Structure 1
Amino acid sequence: MAIKFRIQSRKNPQDLTAPEKYYAASIGNGETDLEALATMISYQSTLTDTDCYAVLKSLEYNIINELNQGRIIKLGSLGNFQVSISSEGKNTPEEVTAADVKKSRILFRPGKKLRQLLKSVNYQKAS
């Protein structure tokens, strides 16, 4: 198995007059949703696919709830989820308020097994 990629041209955003360069860009090979994951897990355990789906939906709900409370979610070798924010800079600490938060996002930091996966991936140019 290999991850396929296509060639994509891009301009230099810091110098729009510079000639475009060409880069490899990965191509998605379909999708796997929670129902499919539940079915896969059920074949690897004694649980039904409905039980697995219920657990996955509960995991989704609880991750969202815990992130909403500012907690870091540690999923073992899978990795960690955490909310990150960006704000406007102020001259003194007293000036900084919640209104200065301009952007938030969810960070995912892959665990050791996922990072190791990236070291062994094969790539194939799409035809």
Structure 2
Amino acid sequence: MVNYSIVMRGNPMDADAAKKAYASAQYSEVMDINRFAEHIASHGCVYKRADIVAILTMAVDCMREQLLAGQKIQLGDLGDFSVGINSLGAESAAEYNPVVHVRKLNVNWSAGPRFRNLLEDAVFNLVATRKAARLVVKALKAGKTNVDLTGEEKEPENGEQA
């Protein structure tokens, strides 16, 4: 299930344009490598969680090594991984120096066939925005029964505590 919230966004190319409603993906939790390995093992795998963690860890180490060696790595349905360079421009090719001009190396992922169109199998579930959820938790901890989702602080009325 794909959790999403609705956010209002302006058009960065047209500051005068009215804001429009867009979906924003929300994850419900973070799955670390150990939980992911447990999940893989739970699918009738002959390997134990520790073995899967070791293989995934080794795969990450080897992928990093091979990307830095200039390789493109193709992992079938998972997709292809390669290095992309984020750099500043130089006045000429002769003046270009990677030590000076390269700002960052990015890992590019080109989705494989099983990831190219997740929309076909997606089921959507509307949830609160992170901001709204944070405001609700804050109100609950303060013992309040009403929540102002605008985020604006109101002055206490008739002896109420803030």
User: TM exceeds 0.5?
Assistant: yes
Structure 1 counterpart of 2:8, which letter?
A: S
Matched, 1:87 2:87: yes
TM-superposed CA distance for 1:120, in Å, is 2.3
TM-superposed CA distance for 1:72, in Å, is 1.4
How does 1:5-24 map onto structure 2 within 5 Å? 5-24=4-23
Bigger CA radius of gyration: 2
Cα distance in 1 for partners of 2:46, 2:127 equals 39
Cα distance in 2 for partners of 1:103, 1:61 equals 19
Matched, 1:102 2:103: yes
Aligned residue pairs, count: 126
Q: Which runs of 4+ in 1 moved over 4 A?
A: none
- TM-score normalised by L of structure 1: 0.83
Gap regions ≥5 residues in structure 2: 129-162
Partner of 2:72: 72
Partner of 2:41: 42
In terms of fraction of residues, the more helix-rich structure is 1
Cα distance in 2 for partners of 1:11, 1:79 equals 33
Structure 2 counterpart of 1:79, which letter?
A: G
The sequence identity of aligned pairs, in percent, is 27
Structure 1 counterpart of 2:76, which letter?
A: G
Q: Name the SS of the counterpart of 1:105 in structure 2.
A: strand
Higher relative contact order at CA 8 Å, sep ≥6: structure 1 or structure 2?
Answer: 1
In terms of fraction of residues, the more strand-rich structure is 1
Cα distance in 2 for partners of 1:11, 1:93 equals 39
TM-superposed CA distance for 1:25, in Å, is 0.6
